[in-house]
Amino acid sequence: MDHPEVVMIGLGYIGLPTAALIAQNQTRVHGVDINPKVVDIINSGKIHIIEPELDKAVAEAVEKGYLKAATTPVEANTYLIVVPTPFKEKNEPDISFVESATKAILHLLKPGDLYIIESTSPIGTTEKMMDLIYLERPELDGELHIAYCPERVLPGNVMYELVHNDRVIGGVDEVSTDKAVAFYTQFIQGDLHRTNARTAEMCKLVENSSRDVQIAFANELSLICDKADINVWELIELANKHPRVNILQPGCGVGGHCIAVDPYFIVADYPMESKIIGTAREINNYKSFWCAEKVQSAKLEFELRNGHKPSIAIMGLAFKPNIDDLRESPAKYIAQKILQNANNEEHYIVEPNIETHKVFKLTDYKEAVKKADIIVFLVAHKEFKDMEVPKNKVVLDFCNVN
């Protein structure tokens, strides 16, 4: 047998770690990415994203010859589709990358092959792709094994969670589920839970929507507490002393490419039925707008009180603590809003996890706190925890870091 066992389409945040994991198991993986730069980087044993432990895994897999990258697929026995599913205007899911990845392997498929989608997808996508495949290759109808198996790893802890998290696996029929379970059993130590494709698709969307709804509850409490003059952090800590209450933490909004996106995949298809899910998205988006408004009010109040314009330190741009990822970041959105509202004030923008940024001029965090009149904490980075902030500063702490 000359061809690799697995073709992995998409070598991003999930595809590359998964390819490396499979390759570590001495299974040959042919990784495909449309970006030739990414392909070159990986083939040189390096990585194009930041994720602990991933560099070692990729370097080893490439060196031993188990992982190879290219811009086009080759024949294999198992095809994994791990490409982005962004949303279009009006928050509608865009499955065009899944579609084009599927079309790219159509000519390679043969009876008995396993085709798995891991990309977060709207309900019915796997069946849609099955129809597309059998329409183009009718002689294969019923001969392939087709399944959906979403990833559920936390950025920053991917290499551990990939192996240890439980997985939900849903085939378009029983045999497909069996084959997909047998495939993942080789690499995954967590339990593999069987279901059908639609339930597995929905399960992924529900996991992230559930977290979004819970964070929205915390953010809603933060708005109420601000008006009611109650410390929301203390309130939540006390309420969580109840054995059956577990409220999450409010923040400056919800970001990242998963929790702030996936709920829309349900809302777009079932708008009448997904009231809480849709409202949670609105509340979490509104929280970022509210934070920017709070900063604006603090600026005006400072000027009235002191007779001169304040300088402002914006502490954090990432979408959550201790990472360098600014995608869908509420902190970045707030920083942009603050700068749009600027009226000749001095701004110090801080992001300790990034050295330089093409739009924002970054300042060291200690220097920013020393120089600014108003300190706005947006992300609870470890550097900001319990920092000494002089008493004469105005502090807006939206993430309970100080």
Which one-letter DSSP state was computed for residue 111?
T
Q: Is 153 in the site for ligand SAJ (CB under 6 A)?
A: yes
Q: Which residues, numbered 329-388, are part of the site for ligand SAJ (CB under 6 A)?
A: none
Of 145 and 152, nearer to ligand SAJ (C-beta) is: 152
Give the torsion sign (CA, 366, 372, 375, 378). negative
Of 215 and 292, nearer to ligand SAJ (C-beta) is: 215
Of 365, 284, 280, 261, residue with least CA distance to 317: 365
The residue behind tokens 């396993």 is 114
Residues in contact with ligand SAJ, shown as a per-residue x/- string from 132 to 151 under the rule CB under 6 A: -------------------x
At 169 the three-state DSSP class reads strand
Active site residue 361: no
Kindly report the backbone phi and psi dihedral angles of residue 84, in degrees, each rounded to the nearest multiple of 5, phi listed first. -70, 150
Among 48, 193, 211, 370, binds ligand SAJ (CB under 6 A): 211
Shortest distance (Å) from residue 214 CB to ligand SAJ? 8
Q: Which two tokens stand for residue 348?
A: 């110090």
Q: Is 402 in the site for ligand SAJ (CB under 6 A)?
A: no
At 33 the three-state DSSP class reads coil
Beta-bridge partners for 117: 81, 148
Q: Is 83 in the site for ligand SAJ (CB under 6 A)?
A: no
- Longest CA pairwise span in the chain (Å): 80
Instruction: In whole angstroms, give the CA distance from residue 60 to residue 130.
Output: 35
Shortest distance (Å) from residue 237 CB to ligand SAJ? 13
Q: Among 149, 252, 258, 291, which one carries the catalytic annotation?
A: 258
Of 68 and 320, nearer to ligand SAJ (C-beta) is: 320
The residue behind tokens 């400056």 is 252
Residues in contact with ligand SAJ, shown as a per-residue x/- string from 281 to 320 under the rule CB under 6 A: --------------------------------------xx
Cα end-to-end distance, the chain, whole Å: 60
Q: Tell me how far CA of residue 6 lies from CA of 76, 93, 132, 229, in angstroms.
A: 5, 27, 21, 58
Shortest distance (Å) from residue 208 CB to ligand SAJ? 5
Q: Which residues, numbered 245-274, are part of the site for ligand SAJ (CB under 6 A)?
A: 248-249, 251, 254-256, 258-259
Active site residue 252: no
Q: Tell me how far CA of residue 49 lies from CA of 11, 14, 15, 202, in angstroms.
A: 10, 10, 11, 28
Which one-letter DSSP state was computed for residue 53?
T
Of 81 and 258, nearer to ligand SAJ (C-beta) is: 258
Give the torsion sign (CA, 195, 198, 204, 207). negative
Shortest distance (Å) from residue 25 CB to ligand SAJ? 21
User: Taking contact as CB under 6 A, which single stretch among the options 23-31, 97-105, 195-203, 207-215 is the one that binds ligand SAJ?
Assistant: 207-215
Residues in contact with ligand SAJ, shown as a per-residue x/- string from 213 to 242 under the rule CB under 6 A: --x---------------------------
- Residue of minimal CB distance from ligand SAJ? 258
**Residues carrying an active site annotation:** 204, 258
Give the interface with ligand SAJ as residue ranges (CB under 6 A): 151-155, 207-208, 211, 215, 248-249, 251, 254-256, 258-259, 319-320
